[in-house]
Amino acid sequence: MIGYKQTLLVFLFMILPGVTLIAQNNTNSPYTRYGFGQLVDQGSGNSKAMGGIAYGLRDKSHVNFANPASYTAIDSLTFIFDGGISLQNTNFDDGTMKRNAKNSSFDYVAMQFRLAKWAGMSIGLLPYSNVGYSMSQYYENPGSTEHSTTVTYSGDGGLHQLYVGLGFKIFKNLSVGTNISYLWGDITHNRTQSFPQSSTDLPVRTIANMAVKSYKVDVGVQYTQQFGKKHEATIGATFSPGHDLNNDASVQHLLGTSETGVTGTQNDTTMTCGIPMTIGVGVAYKYDNRLTVGADFTYQKWSSVDLMNQTDALCDRTKIAVGAEFIPNLMGRNYLAYVRYRVGAYYSQPYYKIEGSRASREYGVTAGFGLPIPRTRSVVSLSAQYVHTKGLGTTFLTENTLRLCIGITFNERWFFKRKVD
């Protein structure tokens, strides 16, 4: 093993910020008031720059936790540590007012290694969803200004997953795999109704909290076929069964302030909440190990999921993504010749439902680079994502987000013996 102590130390420094960041708000979108908030697409640094494609990718240099069948692509001498963070700026526009918000987020941290010639393993920490919003509405009472009200909505939290995955090569061209995740997190929603012009009406506050401790299972398959010496195509698919989540929930109803004295009640209960059946399919074509192009389709049946004891509260979610990666010359002496150049785009229908109808559509374009670290097999992945979320109602928000993603892949040769003459 070479440099394992240094690599482990760096990996620990990657984990600690991630553990801290998952407890913070990583979004300011009012749409996160619905469902479990903003869902996080599973993808490592190279995938994010390629429109989010992943199901058909087989790359021995990166962890592809979106399809566990890819774990068999790693070679016998390699131990991979991979992690990433994002910085973003979002502009919100409701037609009359604009607002900007800046956030940072933990994207993922993962490791991968080979168990045998026919098996690979991965372990990682990923976010599943993020909640973070604060907004107010003023309702004027024409008959009595004193009884006009302001209603404030706010929320924070999210769900996270710690997974262990195994991939197995069944035949030369066929691999299968599975990720088993521990899914947990807390989500809090606040609603406060106040009477700014009244000296007698007390504010009314409702606090709904849900704590989830459950599991999630993903299975994947990949089939690869070579055509000649330079052409290779891979078809990939994943499936995750839907199920109800174990959770504890409480709803507090409070009247008054700290100055007037607060009275209230709290109901502890178990609410019916679930995650949906998810299907993903993708294809990737590789030429001469220098050009990779691919496309993915994802479908999540959120319409069949109960949320906080409500049925039909969400819409089915779909996403179509395309992406490409190009390396000019793997044997080039010029540094720019073996930089990985990446581009992609996607179209998505989020699962948010407002007033019985789909709330938004989402479009994104991505681009980035995979920058090799000299004299190592490690790579720094830089990508930029522009995301346009279009509200479908006349009063719904439109969001424009510029997101910068930074990923670091430590690719170490651990499992070999030195020979001394």
Question: CA–CA separation, 21 vs 418, rounded Å?
Answer: 40
Using an 8 Å Cβ cutoff, are 413 and 88 in contact?
no
- Sequence-distant (6+) residues with CB within 8 A of 393 are 354, 355, 357, 359
List pLDDT tens digits, range 169-185. Answer: 999 899 999 999 999 99
Q: Which amino acid, residue 105?
A: S
What is the sign, positive or negative, of the torsion defined by CA atoms of 11, 13, 14, 18?
Answer: positive
Confidence of residue 24 (pLDDT cuts 50, 70, 90): low
Using an 8 Å Cβ cutoff, are 242 and 274 in contact?
yes
List pLDDT tens digits, range 96-123. Answer: 778 888 888 889 999 999 999 899 999 9
Q: What's this model's pTM, rounded to 2 decimal places? A: 0.89
Phi-psi domain of 410 (left: phi exceeds 0; alpha: psi -120 through 50; beta: other): beta
List pLDDT tens digits, range 70-80. Answer: 999 988 778 89
Segment among 252-256, 377-381, 401-405 with least mean pLDDT: 252-256
Q: Which residue has the tokens 């509405």?
A: 137
Confidence of residue 394 (pLDDT cuts 50, 70, 90): confident
Tokens of 384: 């930029």
- pLDDT number for residue 333: 81
Question: CA–CA separation, 200 vs 194, rounded Å?
Answer: 11
Q: Does position 10 have pLDDT exceeding 60, yes or no? A: no
Q: What angle do CA 19, 25, 27 make, to 5 degrees?
A: 125
Q: Which sequence spans correspond to the domains of the chain? A: 4-413
Phi-psi domain of 392 (left: phi exceeds 0; alpha: psi -120 through 50; beta: other): alpha
Just give the CATH number of 4-413.
2.40.160.60
Report, as an integer, the average pLDDT of 137-145. 69
- SS in 3 state form for the chain? CCCHHHHHHHHHHHHHHHHHHCCCCCCCCHHHHCCCCEECCCCCHHHHCCCCCCCCCCCCCCCCCCCHHHHHHCCCCEEEEEEEEEEEEEEEECCCCEEEEEEEEEEEEEEEEEEECCEEEEEEEEEEEEEEEEEEEEECCCCCHHHCEEEEEEEEEEEEEEEEEEEEECCCCEEEEEEEEEEEEEEEEEEEEECCCCCCCCCEEEEEEEEEEEEEEEEEEEEEEEECCCEEEEEEEEEECCEECCEEEEEEEEECCCCCCCEEEEEEECCCCEECCEEEEEEEEEECCCEEEEEEEEEECHHHCCECCECCCCCCEEEEEEEEEECCCCCCCCHHHHCEEEEEEEEEECCCEECCEECEEEEEEEEEEEEECCCCCCEEEEEEEEEEEEECCCCCCEEEEEEEEEEEEEEEECCCCCCCC
Confidence of residue 1 (pLDDT cuts 50, 70, 90): very low
For residue 118, the Cα-to-chain-centroid distance in whole angstroms is 29
